[in-house]
């Protein structure tokens, strides 16, 4: 349980930073188009991308999700799905980041790319919600058993 707490302690600042960056990206996406905003958006997406990999690595290598499987091996399909989503989320954001940079170089980020980033943000937030709900359910069931 101590290792799980250490993993949560390492995750918390990264998740907090990502929440702030996602909020910043949402704000920029809701503003009018413009060179300055596009460059800020590209920088924010790069920061999200660099921290996202660290968050997923900690979750997968630490006890965060392993603790769930240790106590509830029948939840393996849900955990595996979340881990697969880690890779998909990272790959899709990398693709969006590349397109943002290309579009800045050729005149500005278009509406479709902005929509895709907005959809990605919603997907990431849903993923985080499902992941937290699974971990919390495992914890509550464990506490309910008297451990």
Is residue 39 over pLDDT 70? yes
Task: pLDDT band for 67, please (50, 70, 90 cuts).
Answer: confident
Task: pLDDT band for 131, please (50, 70, 90 cuts).
Answer: very high
At residue 44, the pLDDT reads 98
At residue 7, the pLDDT reads 79
Element (H, E) at 122: helix 111-144
- Best-predicted range by mean pLDDT among 107-111, 124-128, 134-138? 124-128
Is residue 123 over pLDDT 90? yes
At residue 109, the pLDDT reads 92
At residue 126, the pLDDT reads 98
How far is C-alpha 3 from the chain's CA centre? 22
Q: Measured between alpha carbons, how far is residue 93 from residues 98, 116, 119, 138 in Å?
A: 9, 9, 11, 29
Is residue 34 over pLDDT 60? yes
Which of the 8 DSSP states describes residue 48?
Answer: H
pTM of the complete model: 0.89
At residue 57's C-alpha, the angle toward residues 52 and 61, to 5°, is 160
For the beta carbon of residue 118, count every other beta carbon within 10 angstroms.
14
- What is the distance between the alpha carbons of residues 16 and 25, in angstroms, rounded to a whole number? 14
């Amino acid at each position: 349980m101590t290792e799980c707490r250490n993993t949560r302690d390492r995750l918390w600042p990264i998740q907090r930073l990502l929440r702030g960056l996602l909020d910043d990206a949402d704000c920029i996406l809701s503003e009018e188009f413009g060179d300055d905003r596009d460059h800020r958006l590209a920088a924010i997406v790069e920061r999200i991308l660099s921290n996202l990999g660290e968050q997923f690595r900690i979750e997968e290598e630490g006890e965060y999700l392993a603790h769930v499987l240790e106590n509830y091996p029948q939840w393996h399909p849900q955990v595996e799905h979340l881990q697969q989503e880690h890779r998909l989320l990272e790959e899709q954001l990398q693709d969006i980041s590349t397109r943002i940079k290309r579009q800045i170089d050729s005149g500005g980020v278009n509406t479709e790319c902005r929509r895709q980033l907005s959809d990605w943000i919603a997907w990431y937030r849903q993923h985080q919600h499902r992941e937290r709900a699974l971990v919390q359910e495992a914890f509550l069931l464990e506490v309910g058993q008297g451990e």
